[in-house]
């Protein structure tokens, strides 16, 4: 009688049961057997499922590999080998009440320690002071009343702060949103804006439910650089309209032009629309006011006072510009345009869309056709900027969050914003950084931003109406200067320069020319179309470049003939060995087929796949095509040294590979030798650890069938344990160990 099963060591290996003679015999693998539901399984079959982790001569095995490949928790004991289902411990969480789980969720996600409350409030107040001017400025960019920008920031701060996943974000009306939503406002009027924002929010919710947030990883650094540069150019040009005389941004919509697909915030039309400019004297005073704001944003943070880093310089600049407007400009007989002239704030709370002072268009197919393209672009741009900001805050706080939940919160926030007539919002990266650096890392700070903004809107609107619009022009131009990646222009120039020029001038900031091209493409497309199209173009170019680069990495490492003596017949056989390295997929399949000289090859051909990545249907088709051509010539193709991941791909499509003579899994040690030290031409001896596809399928079926039976017995035992009268006499479930 054998001893008890050996315990499973912590290192993941299962050793032979003590006292079993076969467990210490290094050459007794033939005496080993696995009993699965009464069926004897050859060790070679099990070794297929631990491919890449070769069984040692002591018959050790990797439990982790077997568990993973059988998709079950298994204990594996050697000696009198047994495969039994690992008893699952009852999770104490399953027995907890739903109320306790909900309580724990809110405590962990919304709880703020008492000693942190004051810091969160202060951080929220400072972020609110910084975000109010930009909310007004971006509303002016869109061409709506400043109150719309304030209402948007209020709603998104509260809703996304509660529903979203990332504490520390400041959400509100942003430049990226402004340069997209302006398409609808300028062409069809403000009445269509709410519908567009609601639809964009719904798209973001669907995006999160489909768990597509991970697609953001497709956006490369060159795409982001081009995105930011193009956004900065659009925002900069959009401010030129403030220098037009009697140009009220809030008014009748501008009809779309047939000469261009987009008015680009009328940033170029402003130079050709024929409207008069302000007088040179007024323009001079406007430049004075905007320079006061720019100077404050540059100089104020450098003042050696502990609070200067917490008070936004733009706020100080706005105070100075307002003082200059009413204390100097107006006193000498001139006047520049103020917020009250453009769209007077009245301090009202946000009102629902259907209570706004305009007639809503009918919600029909025609309206949907108008708003849908802009809604798609709006949702994509908002998601990109939201998830980008999440990554920045994650790095700052050294924490992670659920990006799918954050996308869901963004969608819900924009649905609420659209219902209240807002312009749509998302995370504002600069203000989020400000809030986190001042200690705002809990949701209380996010919510405080919204509360402070509505208080400012209700209590301070008379002062806001007095602010000159030139102050916001200066603030946005300064933001654009800080936003644009100026170093990218140096990188582009260095990448275009020749090697001789770079070496002569120590130009060490070169990247691939394709990356420089992507930056240029995204920047230009952003300016002439919109942000979503620009990002899509950048990702598309990136994908094409990656495909071409990956295709180039597929190469024939070696092609040689190996002679060996057949142990059965004593004849010398020649085997041609192809060693191919790289990814095999749709783009490289033709190149792969061209490696083989089928008519010239001997009867036995091996393809060594230890460095080959079989990736898609085209790869399977290429291998099948080669195997078929070899078979038609009376020759045999053997696949050797398949990695486990490649084997999985091939096994799923094994009906396509009927012309492949054999295909086996294993490791390749030294060049030109197999695991047994045999020449690679001896197919059956070159890899001891293999299983044909049908054998593997049979083993898996038997194993899963056995495990299913054991789970049923275990469930019966649990039910019967509640009633002692139903317990078997021997005290077990009736399912004796194998």
Residues 6+ apart with CB under 8 A from 636: 603, 604, 605, 630, 661
Q: Which of 79-83, 292-296, 558-562 has the lowest mean pLDDT?
A: 79-83
Instruction: Indicate whether 317 and 447 sit together in one domain.
Output: yes
Instruction: Indicate whether 291 and 382 sit together in one domain.
Output: yes
Please give, one letter per residue, the 3-state secondary structure of 358-381: CCCCCCCHHHHHHHHHHHHHHHHH
Burial class from Cβ neighbours inside 10 Å (0-12, 13-18, 19+) for residue 288 reads: middle
Contacts 24+ apart (CB under 8 A), 572-575: 573/602, 573/603, 573/604, 573/681, 574/602, 574/604, 574/681, 575/602, 575/604, 575/605, 575/606, 575/680, 575/681, 575/683
Asked whether residue 90 is domain-assigned, the answer is no
Position 250 scores a pLDDT of: 40
CATH code, domain with 576: 3.30.750.24
Position 328 scores a pLDDT of: 93
Residue 728 pLDDT > 80: no
Instruction: Indicate whether 527 and 571 sit together in one domain.
Output: no
Average pLDDT over residues 2-9: 39
Asked whether residue 714 is domain-assigned, the answer is yes
**pLDDT-derived band at 704, boundaries 50, 70, 90:** low
pLDDT digits (tens, 9 = 90+) for 231-284: 888 878 878 878 887 544 443 334 433 333 334 444 566 677 777 888 899 999
561: which strand partners?
576
Distance CA 241, CA 470 (A): 11
Asked whether residue 25 is domain-assigned, the answer is no
Instruction: Indicate whether 226 and 325 sit together in one domain.
Output: yes
Position 109 scores a pLDDT of: 64
In 114-256 the beta strands, taken as DSSP E runs, fall at 171-172
Instruction: Indicate whether 658 and 702 sit together in one domain.
Output: no
Asked whether residue 722 is domain-assigned, the answer is yes
Asked whether residue 63 is domain-assigned, the answer is no
Asked whether residue 81 is domain-assigned, the answer is no
Residue 3 pLDDT > 60: no
Residue 621 pLDDT > 90: yes
Instruction: Indicate whether 494 and 636 sit together in one domain.
Output: no
> Could you tell me whether strands 572-584 and 612-614 are parallel, antiparallel, or unpaired per DSSP bridges?
parallel
Position 715 scores a pLDDT of: 65
**pLDDT-derived band at 636, boundaries 50, 70, 90:** very high
Asked whether residue 135 is domain-assigned, the answer is yes
279 dihedral zone (left: phi>0; alpha: psi -120 to 50; beta): beta
Instruction: Indicate whether 680 and 595 sit together in one domain.
Output: yes
Residues 6+ apart with CB under 8 A from 272: none
Asked whether residue 8 is domain-assigned, the answer is no
Greater model confidence, 429 or 692: 429
Instruction: Indicate whether 145 and 291 sit together in one domain.
Output: yes
Distance CA 699, CA 39 (A): 10
DSSP helix/strand/coil, 580: strand
Where among 498, 531, 550 does a domain terminate?
550
This prediction has a pTM of 0.66
Residue 42 pLDDT > 70: no
pLDDT digits (tens, 9 = 90+) for 469-493: 888 888 888 888 888 889 999 999 9
Distance CA 585, CA 660 (A): 19
pLDDT digits (tens, 9 = 90+) for 442-458: 888 888 999 988 888 88
**pLDDT-derived band at 418, boundaries 50, 70, 90:** very high
Burial class from Cβ neighbours inside 10 Å (0-12, 13-18, 19+) for residue 102 reads: exposed
Average pLDDT over residues 313-321: 87
Instruction: Indicate whether 338 and 216 sit together in one domain.
Output: yes
The answer to whether 457 touches 345, Cβ cutoff 8 Å, is: yes
Q: Which of 182-196, 235-249, 384-398, 556-570 has the highest mean pLDDT?
A: 182-196
Contacts 24+ apart (CB under 8 A), 292-297: 292/317, 292/320, 292/321, 292/324, 292/471, 292/474, 293/317, 293/318, 293/320, 293/321, 293/471, 293/474, 293/475, 293/478, 294/474, 294/475, 294/477, 294/478, 296/320, 297/475, 297/478
Residue 557 pLDDT > 50: yes
The answer to whether 167 touches 499, Cβ cutoff 8 Å, is: no
Calculate the alpha carbon distances from 636 to 82, 575, 689 in Å: 39, 10, 21
Residue 316 pLDDT > 70: yes
**pLDDT-derived band at 67, boundaries 50, 70, 90:** very low
- Phi–psi pair at 662, nearest 5 degrees: -145, 155
Greater model confidence, 84 or 169: 169
Average pLDDT over residues 505-519: 87
As a whole number, the mean pLDDT across the chain is 75
pLDDT digits (tens, 9 = 90+) for 526-538: 888 777 788 889 9
Segments forming the whole domain that contains residue 598? 554-690
Greater model confidence, 463 or 286: 286
Instruction: Indicate whether 292 and 143 sit together in one domain.
Output: yes
Greater model confidence, 594 or 678: 594
Q: Which of 54-63, 522-531, 602-611, 691-700 has the lowest mean pLDDT?
A: 54-63
Q: Which of 81-90, 109-118, 506-515 has the lowest mean pLDDT?
A: 81-90
Greater model confidence, 9 or 375: 375
**pLDDT-derived band at 346, boundaries 50, 70, 90:** confident
Q: Which of 36-45, 185-194, 207-216, 637-646 has the lowest mean pLDDT?
A: 36-45
Residues 6+ apart with CB under 8 A from 599: 633
- Number of folded domains in the chain? 4
End-to-end CA distance of the chain: 14
Distance CA 210, CA 88 (A): 31
Instruction: Indicate whether 628 and 706 sit together in one domain.
Output: no
Position 152 scores a pLDDT of: 93
Residues 6+ apart with CB under 8 A from 338: 325, 465, 466, 467, 468, 469
Distance CA 270, CA 239 (A): 10
DSSP helix/strand/coil, 575: strand
**pLDDT-derived band at 106, boundaries 50, 70, 90:** low
Residues 6+ apart with CB under 8 A from 375: 196, 197, 199, 200, 203
Where among 466, 483, 500 does a domain terminate?
483
Position 436 scores a pLDDT of: 83
Average pLDDT over residues 190-195: 90
Contacts 24+ apart (CB under 8 A), 654-659: 654/693, 656/620, 656/621, 656/624, 657/620, 657/623, 657/624, 657/627, 659/624, 659/627, 659/628, 659/630, 659/631
Instruction: Indicate whether 492 and 620 sit together in one domain.
Output: no
Query: Which tokens sit at 734?
Result: 């009736």
Where among 437, 466, 483 does a domain terminate?
483
Residue 610 pLDDT > 70: yes
């Amino acid at each position: 009688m054998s001893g008890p099963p050996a315990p499973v060591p912590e290192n993941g290996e299962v050793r032979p049961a003590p006292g079993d003679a076969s467990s210490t015999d290094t050459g007794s693998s033939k005496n080993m057997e696995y009993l699965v539901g009464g069926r004897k399984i050859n060790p070679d079959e099990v070794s297929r499922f631990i491919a890449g982790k070769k069984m040692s001569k002591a018959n050790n095995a990797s439990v982790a590999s077997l568990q993973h490949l059988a998709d079950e928790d298994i204990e594996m004991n050697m000696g009198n080998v047994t495969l039994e289902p690992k008893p699952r411990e009852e999770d104490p969480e399953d027995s907890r009440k739903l109320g306790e789980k909900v309580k724990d969720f809110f405590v962990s996600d919304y709880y703020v320690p008492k000693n942190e409350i004051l810091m969160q409030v202060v951080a929220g107040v400072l972020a609110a002071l910084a975000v109010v001017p930009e909310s007004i400025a971006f509303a002016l960019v869109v061409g709506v009343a400043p109150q719309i920008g304030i209402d948007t920031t209020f709603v998104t701060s509260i809703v996304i702060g509660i529903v979203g996943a990332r504490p520390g974000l400041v959400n509100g009306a942003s430049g990226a949103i402004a340069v997209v939503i302006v398409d609808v406002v300028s062409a069809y009027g403000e009445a269509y804006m709410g519908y567009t924002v609601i639809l964009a929010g719904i798209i973001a919710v669907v995006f999160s439910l489909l768990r597509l947030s991970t697609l953001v990883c497709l956006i490369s650094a060159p795409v982001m650089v081009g995105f930011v540069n193009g956004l900065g150019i659009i925002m900069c040009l959009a401010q030129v309209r403030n220098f037009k005389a009697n140009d009220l941004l809030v008014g009748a919509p501008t009809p779309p032009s047939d000469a261009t697909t987009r008015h680009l915030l009328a940033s170029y039309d402003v130079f050709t629309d024929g409207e008069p400019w302000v007088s040179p004297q007024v323009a001079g005073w406007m430049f004075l006011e905007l320079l006061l704001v720019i100077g404050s944003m540059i100089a104020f943070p450098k003042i050696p006072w502990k609070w200067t880093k917490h008070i936004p310089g733009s706020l100080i600049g706005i105070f100075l510009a307002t003082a200059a407007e009413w204390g100097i400009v107006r006193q000498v007989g001139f006047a520049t345009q103020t917020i009250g002239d453009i769209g007077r704030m009245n301090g009202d709370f946000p009102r629902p869309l259907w209570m706004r002072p305009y007639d809503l268009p009918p919600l029909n197919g025609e309206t949907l056709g108008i708003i849908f393209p802009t809604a798609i672009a709006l949702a994509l741009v908002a998601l990109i900027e939201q998830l980008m900001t999440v990554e920045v805050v994650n790095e700052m706080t050294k924490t992670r969050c659920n990006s799918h939940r954050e996308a869901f919160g963004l969608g819900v926030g924009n649905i609420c914003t659209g219902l209240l007539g807002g312009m749509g919002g998302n995370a504002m990266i600069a203000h989020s950084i400000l809030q986190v650096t001042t200690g705002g890392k809990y949701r209380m700070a996010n919510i405080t931003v919204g509360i402070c903004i509505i208080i400012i809107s209700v209590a301070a609107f008379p002062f806001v109406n007095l602010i000159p619009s030139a102050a916001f022009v200066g603030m946005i131009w300064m933001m654009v200067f800080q936003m644009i990646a100026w170093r990218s222009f140096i990188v582009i120039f260095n990448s275009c320069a020749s090697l001789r020029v770079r070496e002569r001038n120590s130009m060490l900031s070169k990247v691939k020319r394709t990356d420089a091209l992507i930056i240029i493409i995204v920047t230009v497309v952003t300016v002439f179309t919109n942000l979503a199209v620009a990002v899509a173009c950048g990702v598309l170019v990136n994908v094409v470049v990656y495909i071409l680069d990956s295709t180039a990495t597929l190469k024939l490492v070696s092609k040689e003939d190996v002679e060996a003596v057949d142990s059965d017949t004593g004849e010398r056989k020649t085997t041609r060995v192809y060693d191919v390295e790289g990814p095999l997929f749709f783009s490289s399949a033709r190149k792969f087929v061209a490696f083989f000289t089928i008519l010239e090859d001997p009867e036995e051909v091996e393809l060594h796949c230890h460095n080959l990545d079989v990736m898609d249907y085209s790869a399977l088709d290429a291998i099948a095509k080669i195997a078929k051509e070899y078979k038609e010539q009376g020759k045999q193709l053997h696949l050797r040294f398949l990695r486990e991941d490649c084997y999985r791909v091939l096994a799923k499509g094994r009906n396509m590979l009927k012309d492949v003579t054999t295909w086996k899994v294993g490791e390749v040690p030294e060049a030109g030798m197999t695991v047994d030290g045999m020449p690679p031409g001896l197919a059956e001896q070159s890899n001891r650890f293999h299983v044909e596809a049908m054998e593997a399928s049979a083993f898996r079926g038997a194993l899963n069938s056995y495990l299913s039976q054991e789970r049923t017995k275990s469930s019966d035992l649990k039910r019967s344990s509640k009633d002692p009268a139903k317990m078997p006499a021997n005290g077990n479930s009736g399912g004796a160990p194998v």
